[in-house]
Amino acid sequence: MHPSIPVALVTGASRGLGTVIADVLAARGHDLVIGARDVEALGRAAERLSHHGRTVVPVDGDITDARTRARYIEAAERLGGLDVLVNNASELGTIGPLVSFDVPRFGRLYPVNVGAPLALTQLAVPLLSARRGLIVNITSDAAVSAYPGWGPYGATKAALELVTRTLAAELTEQGVAAVLVDPGDMRTRMHQEAFPHEDISDRPLPEVTTPFWHWLFAQDRERVRGQRLLAQQEEGAWLRAV
């Protein structure tokens, strides 16, 4: 591929917010590597995204598997490099009080929500550094608010927030920026899983965040380094959303 074409890698991109982010990146001229566990859903997403005329490489597999992460990076290398890494894949776990939480389940939640994004970032940094790239880690208001029942998930997102801020500080000399994005309450499969017997049709679809993503990917990397941004803020307020 021609080296001037920007390349983005988006995990959890088979549906919902991940597909919205990938769609914005493709519309902005990026070739894509997209990942998810559901092979069929990932294939459908790749077909839709390819309508932008960009190359889209689907990579299926569990993000906690080192072989899957290696395949992501190999795909990006074949496309010529990497400009944007979006760590969107995450797992909700069980909604319920901490006093009855099955603590060993952290053995799944932390690897998915914290360990895998960090491990993938470690592999991606050489490619990102070559293009002064951007790392986008998807967080949640559960990371900063004590919502009853959301403690385990929130704990993993709080850890991801500290990891991201530290990366933003440590990667300055390499020219790689890292940001946190809280997409807000949305009508997604994960949110429905949190409220299996409730009607969540009053929540906006993930497409509501589209203007924010166009704004973010147009920013100078240093302007947003280390920021925590709220994707459903009104335009012009995103940088003040820490």
pTM metric for this prediction: 0.92
Give the range of the structural domain holding residue 213, as residue numbers without chain letter: 7-240
Whether residue 25 lies inside any domain: the answer is yes
Q: Is the pLDDT of residue 189 over 90?
A: no
Percent of the chain with pLDDT over 90: 79
Whether residue 119 lies inside any domain: the answer is yes
Model confidence band, residue 242 (pLDDT cutoffs 50, 70, 90) = very low
Q: Is the pLDDT of residue 231 over 60?
A: yes
Q: pLDDT value at position 187? A: 54
Whether residue 60 lies inside any domain: the answer is yes
Would you say 146 and 196 are in contact if contact means Cβ atoms under 8 Å apart? no
Whether residue 97 lies inside any domain: the answer is yes
Whether residue 2 lies inside any domain: the answer is no
Residues 30-71 have pLDDT tens digits of 999 999 999 999 999 999 999 999 999 999 999 999 999 999
Q: Is the pLDDT of residue 201 over 90?
A: no
Whether residue 64 lies inside any domain: the answer is yes
How many structural domains compose the chain? 1
Q: pLDDT value at position 197? A: 58
Whether residue 235 lies inside any domain: the answer is yes
Whether residue 1 lies inside any domain: the answer is no
DSSP 145: S
- Over the range 144-167, which residues count as b (16 or more CB within 10 Å of their CB) and which as e? eeeeeebbbbbbbbbbbbebbbeb
CATH code of residue 207? 3.40.50.720
Q: pLDDT value at position 184? A: 82
Annotated catalytic residues are 153
